[in-house]
Amino acid sequence: MLDKLRSVKKRLGPLWWFSLCMFCVSRVGDLISIYIGVVLVPDVISRERLGAVLPLTKLAVLVGVPLSIVVAVALKYIGVFSASKETGKIKTLLRDLGILSAAFSAVTLAYMWFCRGFIQQRLKFENVHIVWLVAGMGIVSCWMPMAYMAVRGLKKFYRLIISRVLRPACRLVVLLIVLRHLQVTGYLLASVISGLVVLVFLLRGVTPYLARDIICKSYRSYLPDMTHYMVRVGAWTLLVALQGVVGPWVIRQHLPPVDSAGYYLVAMFGNIPLWVAPAMIPFLFPLVSERFERGEDTSRMHHQSLGMALGMGLAITGVLFFAGGWLLQLRESWRVHAAYSPLVWQVSLTTALGVVMNCHATHENACKRFTYLRYLVPLVLVEVVVLYGVINGWGLTKSWMPAAIWQAVDSVVRHNLEFIVEFMLAIRAVTVLFVAAELLIRRCSSTAAGPPSGSAAAELAS
């Protein structure tokens, strides 16, 4: 049996072997997460509070963005140091990441204390302790990227795979104990506890590289290149976090609670295409980065990941297009949101296109190419300005904005959930069209001039 598995692993190659393992194991975690997201939470949490769950969890991700940027840079160079067997530099880098994570944890607590009134008023929750749980999630999110990036960069892939089922299992156990009594507070508490459990599990896989017999070595000579890389990958990390939080935030702040609750349920089903991403992206970056540093071609792996993400996403969206209305009639807690069923496939397609863009950006980051920022930056800024600025505060501009301009914009922008979802979908669709155009231009250029070597590609990228 083991010989057959080794044979399959050899034929598939590392990316698709680990992706297959991740896909199979993640399905168990997905089933638990689905039960939590679409059965347990809607059954227990009231409609008035349900809509606060999504923006609060997205806010915790946004809080952790600064450290996530640093960790994303560290992932790239952990791979570089690992390829050259420079364990001393890996130990130094991990040590520095730990110090930064501890410092940023303190900053996160101070930030959440300062902004607690602003957040509580806009996301419409009563319990002030929720702010501290969001801060706890933010702190965990500061440490979690370090653990994930270190495990990915050091290619401890089996530990990463196990974590995909460990976290939802821990969350479910805690929720069954506290959710009915604590409502949204219990949901966030479960997220914090499950995150801590997984964090400890992942960091155990890094400890061999922190052993006392490994002597720390400076990576100072890499700092200029790391800074150059950080500016670009940081822009992408911030854009993704902003894009994820602005929609749920505006829906919760600007629309009635019934709409934000409906969007929560729609998003739980519409996020099913995200099942594809966890199976590939954790392995895509380190494997592509390793091949790129050796000067090998990565285009096949790139195109395979994009094709898989797009194909699976479109297939899932097709099913939800026909079955979304039927799906929301299956349970009483879903049936009250049945009016929002036409949005299920739209959110699914939005998610699927976002996964495609994420796969593309992950590959490009690993190859130190950031052409995609030329179109991603303006598109995300347009989304943020329209959703938060126009929908949330357009009425305030009527007194000083020229009447013709104000009326023209107001006639196009509809202040409802359908417009917000349609606009987010339109932005993702335009983004993927730009990705296709970028790949087509690159293919035409490589056909004319021949593919560059890894070192030449790095020079072109910089």
Mean pLDDT of 432-460: 70
pLDDT tens profile 43-87: 999 888 888 888 888 888 787 788 778 877 877 787 778 767 787
Query: How far does CA 26 lie from the centroid of its chain?
Result: 16
Least confident span in 40-49, 217-226, 403-412, 419-428: 403-412
pLDDT surpasses 50 at 185: yes
d(CA 53, CA 33): 14
The token duo for 274 is 């995200």
d(CA 286, CA 303): 16
Q: How many domains does the chain have?
A: 1
User: Which pLDDT does position 321 carry in this prediction?
Assistant: 94
Mean pLDDT of 19-32: 80
Domain for residue 4, yes or no? no
Domain for residue 203, yes or no? yes
User: Which pLDDT does position 458 carry in this prediction?
Assistant: 42
Rg (CA), the chain: 23
CB burial string 80-114: b at 16+ within 10 A, e below: bbbeeebbbbbbbbbeebbebbeebbeebeeebee
Mean pLDDT of 402-420: 78
User: Which pLDDT does position 402 carry in this prediction?
Assistant: 74
The rounded mean pLDDT for the chain is 82
| Structural domain containing residue 235 | 33-453
Domain for residue 10, yes or no? no
- Residue 184, helix vs strand vs coil: helix
User: Which pLDDT does position 177 carry in this prediction?
Assistant: 94
User: Which pLDDT does position 81 carry in this prediction?
Assistant: 81
DSSP code of 331?
A: S
The token duo for 259 is 């709409």
DSSP code of 416?
A: S
User: Which pLDDT does position 210 carry in this prediction?
Assistant: 64
Q: What percent of the chain has pLDDT over 70?
A: 87
Domain for residue 461, yes or no? no
User: Which pLDDT does position 27 carry in this prediction?
Assistant: 78
Domain for residue 1, yes or no? no
d(CA 233, CA 227): 10
pLDDT surpasses 80 at 159: yes
Mean pLDDT of 116-140: 80
Mean pLDDT of 374-396: 82
User: Which pLDDT does position 461 carry in this prediction?
Assistant: 41
pTM over 0.95: no
Domain for residue 179, yes or no? yes
Calculate the alpha carbon distances from 209 to 74, 215, 247 in Å: 15, 10, 41
- Residue 222, helix vs strand vs coil: helix
Mean pLDDT of 295-313: 87
Least confident span in 289-293, 391-395, 412-416: 391-395
Q: What percent of the chain has pLDDT over 90?
A: 26
User: Which pLDDT does position 357 carry in this prediction?
Assistant: 93
